[in-house]
């Protein structure tokens, strides 16, 4: 098979949650354990760090990978979803997995893994584990896909677990209350393994984490309580962070929520140091400032063009969109243009209620089955005072926004990671 044929096989023979949603969701670890047995448990050959949470887990995973790499470790990084290239999901020291490995993996092991009937995520996770072993990484940062307790990544035995925060998302699978969602996310906490909680949430959520950790004797650290003298300042050039022993850290990510991610990561670094990791202060500074060139991270308040200024962000639920909406209000612009679309399984009303009414909207749909129809989105948005035109593709919506925007205007592209994924190739 060619690389393109291999991807087509992976996307269409294996149910892919990113593409089709609920129909691809396979709760439970049976498939993952069966696959892992086939490949002789490759993740046991290196250290791992497990990162979960509702939002911020991608930024947190990339920051940790960047810092560890700058400390001299050979670092595997497994994240999802990808935006442009499937290979973004699997990286070693920032370099994407080779096309040859992807093709060889499917061709060589097809007869062995097909009887398991794995999902797309389960199979690509095992591909990542095997690739990291072949590359002899020292440590791999593994991002949870969905939830935690029943997520296929929850077969690893990490040195550290990180849970960034708890918000409403994937309620059909995880529950419709924050305590229920927290209980699922807390499922990645392992016996005797330290866990860092980025944001405590309400008292019920906090207690769920405490109870889970205590029940299996896992040391628990709350970033909001443990990080001494943490200060986050927003400058024109981006974030400037300060903590005990770490004055003047420049943040390469400019989104409004990155102060919370920074506090989480700095706390995680302290825990890793206590666990025997060799992480230099210089690596922390370099990792924060140069996260994008080190890891290739995209889609986090990313500037795509300067005149007019065009920004994209993959925030896709109310918990994440509230930061985007606030940041849009704080930016300088003469007029605001918003290229906007959503997935059909999100809490549409909760997101639309947060979006600024002053903007001109370009309602559109991404090129995935889960995309919400732009007509339905526009109609519902109208009830929240959000007005604009409808476009059948992201490319058409972006083209219209660019044509209508003057040099001092701001164009924002978002509402879904799928919208950003369709938009990014237009600026390469």
Which tens digit of pLDDT belongs to each residue from 319-328? 899 999 999 9
Parallel/antiparallel/unpaired status of strands 231-235 and 238-243: antiparallel
Per the listing, tokens 């709350």 go with 222
Rounded Cα distance between 352 and 346, Å, is 11
Residue 153 contacts residue 50 (beta carbons within 8 Å): yes
Rounded Cα distance between 366 and 419, Å, is 5
Q: What is the pLDDT of residue 166?
A: 87
Per the listing, tokens 């930061």 go with 323
Parallel/antiparallel/unpaired status of strands 139-143 and 95-96: unpaired
Closest-CA residue to 139 (of 246, 61, 222): 61
Closest-CA residue to 59 (of 77, 86, 76, 74): 77
CA angle 26, 171, 24 (to 5 degrees): 25
CA 205 to chain centre: 21
Paired with 337 in beta bridges are: 360, 411
Residue 81, preceding bond cis, omega within 30 degrees? Answer: yes
Q: What is the pLDDT of residue 32?
A: 94
Rounded Cα distance between 123 and 116, Å, is 10
Per-residue pLDDT reduced to its tens digit, 9-47: 998 877 543 444 444 455 679 999 999 999 999 999 999
Closest-CA residue to 376 (of 333, 342, 325): 342
334: three-class secondary structure by DSSP: coil
Q: What is the pLDDT of residue 238?
A: 86
204 sits in the region (left: phi over 0; alpha: psi -120 to 50; else beta) called alpha
- Spell out the per-residue pLDDT of the chain, length 428, in tens: 899 999 999 988 775 434 444 444 556 799 999 999 999 999 999 999 999 998 999 999 999 999 999 999 999 999 999 999 999 999 999 999 999 999 999 999 999 999 998 889 999 999 999 999 999 999 999 999 987 888 899 999 999 999 999 876 554 566 568 888 899 899 999 999 999 999 988 899 999 999 999 999 999 999 999 987 899 999 878 899 999 999 999 999 999 999 999 999 999 999 999 999 999 999 999 999 999 999 999 999 999 999 999 999 999 999 899 999 999 999 999 999 999 999 998 889 999 999 999 999 999 999 998 899 999 999 999 999 999 999 999 999 999 999 999 999 999 999 999 999 999 999 98
Q: What is the pLDDT of residue 21?
A: 47
Mind listing the domains of the chain with CATH numbers?
3-295 (3.40.1190.10), 302-427 (3.90.190.20)
Q: What is the pLDDT of residue 71?
A: 98
* Measured CA distances, 334 to 235, 331, 405, 407, 409 (Å): 21, 10, 9, 9, 5
């Amino acid at each position: 098979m060619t690389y393109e044929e291999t991807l087509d096989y992976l996307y269409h023979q294996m149910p892919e949650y990113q593409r089709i949603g609920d129909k691809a969701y396979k709760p439970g670890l049976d498939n993952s354990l069966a696959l892992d047995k086939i490949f002789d448990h490759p993740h046991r050959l290196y250290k791992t760090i497990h990162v979960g949470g509702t939002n911020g887990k991608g930024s947190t995973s990339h920051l940790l990978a960047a810092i560890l790499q700058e400390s001299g470790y050979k670092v595997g990084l497994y994240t999802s979803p990808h935006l442009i290239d499937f290979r973004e999901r699997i990286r070693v020291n920032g370099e994407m997995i080779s096309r040859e490995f992807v093709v060889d993996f499917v061709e060589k092991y097809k007869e062995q893994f097909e009887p398991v009937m794995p999902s797309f995520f389960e199979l690509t996770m095992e591909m990542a584990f095997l690739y990291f072993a072949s590359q002899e990484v020292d440590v791999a940062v593994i991002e949870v896909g969905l939830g935690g307790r029943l997520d296929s990544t929850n077969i690893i035995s990490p040195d550290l677990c990180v849970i960034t925060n708890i918000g409403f998302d994937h309620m059909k699978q995880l529950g419709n209350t924050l305590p229920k969602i927290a209980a699922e996310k807390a499922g990645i906490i392992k016996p005797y393994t330290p866990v860092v909680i980025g944001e405590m949430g309400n008292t019920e959520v906090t207690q769920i984490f405490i109870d889970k950790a205590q029940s299996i004797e896992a040391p628990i650290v709350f970033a909001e309580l443990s990080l001494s003298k943490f200060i986050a300042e927003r400058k024109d050039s981006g974030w400037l962070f300060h903590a005990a022993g770490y004055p003047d850290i420049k943040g390469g990510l400019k989104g409004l929520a990155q102060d919370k991610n920074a506090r989480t990561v700095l706390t995680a670094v302290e825990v890793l140091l206590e666990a025997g990791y060799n992480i230099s202060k210089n690596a922390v500074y370099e990792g924060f400032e140069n996260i994008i060139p080190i890891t290739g991270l995209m889609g986090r308040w990313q500037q795509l063009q300067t005149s007019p200024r065009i920004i994209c962000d993959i925030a896709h639920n109310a918990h994440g969109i509230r930061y985007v909406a606030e940041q849009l209000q704080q930016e300088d612009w003469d007029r605001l243009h918003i290229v906007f679309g959503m997935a059909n399984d999100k809490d549409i009303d909760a997101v639309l209620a947060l979006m600024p009414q002053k903007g001109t909207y370009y309602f559109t749909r991404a090129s995935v089955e889960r995309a919400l129809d732009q007509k339905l989105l526009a109609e519902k948005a109208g009830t929240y005072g959000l007005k604009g035109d409808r476009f059948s593709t992201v490319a058409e919506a972006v083209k219209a926004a660019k044509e209508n925007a003057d040099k001092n205007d701001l164009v924002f592209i978002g509402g879904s990671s799928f919208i950003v994924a369709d938009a990014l190739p237009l600026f390469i």
